[in-house]
A and B are shown apart, each in its own frame.
Chain A
Amino acid sequence: SQTIHQWPATLVQPVGSPLSLECTVEGTSNPNLYWYRQAAGRGLQLLFYSVGIGQISSEVPQNLSASRPQDRQFILSSKKLLLSDSGFYLCAWSPLGAGGGIVGKNIQYFGAGTRLSVL
């Protein structure tokens, strides 16, 4: 069966410090991978998604970047955190579409999330 791991669960970082959040998926190959941010009591904001190694699409221009160094690894980074980067960060995966890319139901499976507080 497929599992998704995301760590750390909580993180407190000072403003201006770097960030690295890691997400790995097991039990599947060539998944689509996603990073979301959720502010308290709000909806899910898609930050980045990837349909393959080295392929990153950015949905919102901001202080963050993403990388996919391996097929089942997705990393969210920042060189200098801002107060506004605080939030609940969620990694997700979905099966690759039949023709490649994102097609079909696109059911997404989420990691447990990282609660980031920038102080």
Chain B
Amino acid sequence: GQSLEQPSEVTAVEGAIVQINCTYQTSGFYGLSWYQQHDGGAPTFLSYNALDGLEETGRFSSFLSRSDSYGYLLLQELQMKDSASYFCAVVPGNTPLVFGKGTRLSVIA
């Protein structure tokens, strides 16, 4: 089977740094993706890691350790607009994405 675990909720202060962890157990693994979804909106793609290490895109970074079946999304210089749900998703290879249940991030002043 396939399973992904991520915290259900995280709260952080504006301007701070927050890390959202994701652990996975899947029968196939090609890479790990992250999606952002604002309330009432559609998910949008943020980042993708196929190899171990850190990928940086502006204020957002994503990390992967294949040996630990673990990844995280790092958000720096938090802004109020970053309040949203964040989903990790495993790319199994030749089958559709498997999404985690999502982490609701609340940024407070």
Contacts and interface: CB of A to CB of B under 8 A. Distances in A.
Contacts of A90: 42-43
Contacts of A101: 94
Contacts, number: 59
Contacts of A105: 30-31, 33, 48, 50, 91
Contacts of B94: 97, 101-103
Contact of B44 (A49, A102, A110, A113): A110
Interface residues of B, number: 23
B29 interface: no
B33 A44 contact: no
B interface, by DSSP: helix, strand, loop or mixed?
A: loop
Interface SS of A by simple majority: loop
8 contacts: A42-B102, A97-B94, A102-B95, A103-B93, A104-B30, A105-B50, A106-B97, A112-B42
Interface of A: 32, 34, 41-44, 46, 49, 59, 90, 97, 101-113
Interface of B: 30-31, 33, 35, 41-45, 48, 50, 87, 91, 93-97, 99-102, 104
Q: Across chains A and B, which 9 residue pairs bring their CB atoms closest together, nearest first?
A: A43-B101, A110-B42, A44-B99, A107-B45, A106-B91, A49-B96, A105-B48, A43-B102, A110-B43
